[in-house]
Structure 1
């Protein structure tokens, strides 16, 4: 008995509480949501589908997300953050505006190709959901306008730098940026409808040529910058 009291055998064992990384758990749920959204579509997905994919109870999801609408917004932001990370990584070491714009276009195309059908289906679903929510009273709204503005402003800044460095013609930078985004959107949509029509692996060079033959400054040797 004395020994038991000394070593504590007569005391209840204390269990160390399991430490849950909430950020990691939330990311796991978002990844599961993205996968389900891609296979079933945003509109057809229910919370139970996501819970099964994440291998957690349905109630656990509501500890992180109040509703499906909130999860849609969070999943959209997660997707955009992934894309932005790719862009930042590819652009941060570049200084030449022409190379920056070429790289941005290539990265956006490669990101779509790398993620294959899942990416474009989710983009289209998010786009449709954002339009739907615009005309409904929603607490959580996909801010497509802000997203487009962000990318438009990045391109505008690159174009302005190119004009200052005399590498790009004086153009309406806002219009040209909008045209570039429209080209990329159109290519993704066509590729989604029929992947045999467009080869994403080679189309970036054609986009570069089309754009820079229009806005690139012609140097004395006759080439296009």
Structure 2
């Protein structure tokens, strides 16, 4: 009988995916290494051949979740040539991710916040690693901005501030998403994102394209966006 060849990378990702599911369902404290090992169909001792601590497993699970979400966004923007539409797709997908009805995702976001921001949290002293996970998402937005400049849609002078704009854009999406989660039905997440995007476009679009992308937007003409074209 031929020996079973274990692909270490695949096994590591399997453990991370199983852990991600459990952390989403039960939280960090209530999830044991034994339960993760059981879910991955391996012995508890074997799991330590891949991860030294439960904290490392948690970090790997967060990386897996982050990668899943950005693959999802990348998949939805693939094939879209219009940089403006790409911005909307990123925002729309982020709104879907922050769906308050998705209790497992809500639990995971809460756990990440708690373990990162609280002084005794397992990620408090590893925030630089969490920061590294944001690099890919920031670069995606920078690429959209630079693509818009190269296509003549966006003002060329914003190139020097592309990374700042990307950070601002993502920080808004994160912040308004979190605010939506904790305030239940207090605000309409999609409307808030549309509001922000319209103002962002006013800042980055070349003037000839303002009419095409903003004044002719049906949401503005219907009054649903809360933005008056007379204020542009």
TM over 0.5: yes
Report how far residue 165 of structure 1 moved: 2.9
Counterparts of residues 1-225 of structure 1 (less than 5 Å): 26-54=12-40, 57-113=43-99, 116-130=102-116, 132=121, 136=125, 143-169=129-155, 170-171=157-158, 172-200=161-189, 203-219=192-208, 222-224=211-213
Report how far residue 115 of structure 1 moved: 8.1
Structure 1 stretch displaced more, 61-70 or 23-32: 23-32
Report how far residue 212 of structure 1 moved: 1.8
Report how far residue 113 of structure 1 moved: 2.8
**Distance in 1, Cα, partners of 2:209 & 2:99:** 37
Q: Matched residue pairs, number?
A: 208
**Length-normalised TM-score, structure 1:** 0.72
Look up the SS of the partner of 1:224 in the other structure: helix
Look up the SS of the partner of 1:119 in the other structure: helix
Conservation of the 8 A alpha-carbon contact between 2:142 and 2:162 = yes
Whose radius of gyration is greater, 1 or 2?
1
Bigger share in helix:
2
Gaps of at least 5 residues in structure 1 are 1-14
Report how far residue 88 of structure 1 moved: 2.2
Q: What is the CA RMSD across the aligned residues, in angstroms? A: 3.3
Gaps of at least 5 residues in structure 2 are 215-232
